[in-house]
Amino acid sequence: MNGTLNKVILIGHLGDEVKMHYFEGGNCIGRFPLATNEIYINKQTNEKIASTEWHNLVVRNKAAEICEKYLSKGDKIYVEGRIKSRQWQTDEGVTKYTTEIQVTEFTFLTTKKDIDGGKQGSSVDVKTANFDSNSTAEDNIQY
């Protein structure tokens, strides 16, 4: 295989609300943390150990607006995307680094709106979306 692959698949819970950032020209991004959990038994002590890993997710444009509208802290979501590392300079001249998941596809698994409404499954019209750079967001929304 000559090519390479940068693909991430995560299922987890939102650690906070989606934070939106708007730019000139109408583009926007949404950012939110996603928690994934691992639970295992320590064989020596028979103790149950829970470990949480936090991931910084970034969604763009229409996908960001959909996530902001339907997702809340604690909601469970399936995401696919790419790992992207970046760096920047603070106002004090300090170089900062971060690693993010650039989301390309997502599926809402549970939302607070579903639970509060007493429904299992999704009552949200827009549940699954694939946001590929070769097509428009509206073309990729699956109902």
Whether 38 is covered by a domain: the verdict is yes
Q: Is residue 90 part of a domain?
A: yes
Whether residue 7 lies inside any domain: the answer is: no
Residues 44, 48, 53, 54, Cα dihedral to 10°: -150
Please give the structure tokens belonging to residue 53.
């890993």
pLDDT at 44: 93
What total number of domains does the chain contain? 1
Question: Rounded to an integer, what distance in angstroms lies between the CA atom of residue 68 and that of residue 18?
Answer: 5
Residue 130 confidence (pLDDT): 59
Q: pLDDT tens, 100-119?
A: 999 999 999 987 766 666 55
Q: Does the residue 21 lie in any domain?
A: yes
Q: What is the CATH number of the domain that holds 20?
A: 2.40.50.140
| Domain housing 101 | 13-108
The predicted model scores a pTM of 0.75
In a domain, 102, yes or no: yes
> Would 115 be classed as within a structural domain?
no
Question: Does 94 reside within a domain?
Answer: yes
> Is 31 inside a domain boundary?
yes
Residue 63 tokens, joined: 């996908």
- Are 115 and 135 in contact by the 8 Å Cβ rule? The answer is no
pLDDT digits (tens, 9 = 90+) for 46-76: 999 999 999 999 999 999 999 999 999 999 9
Read off the pLDDT of residues 78-101 as tens digits, 9 standing for 90 and up: 999 999 999 999 999 999 999 999
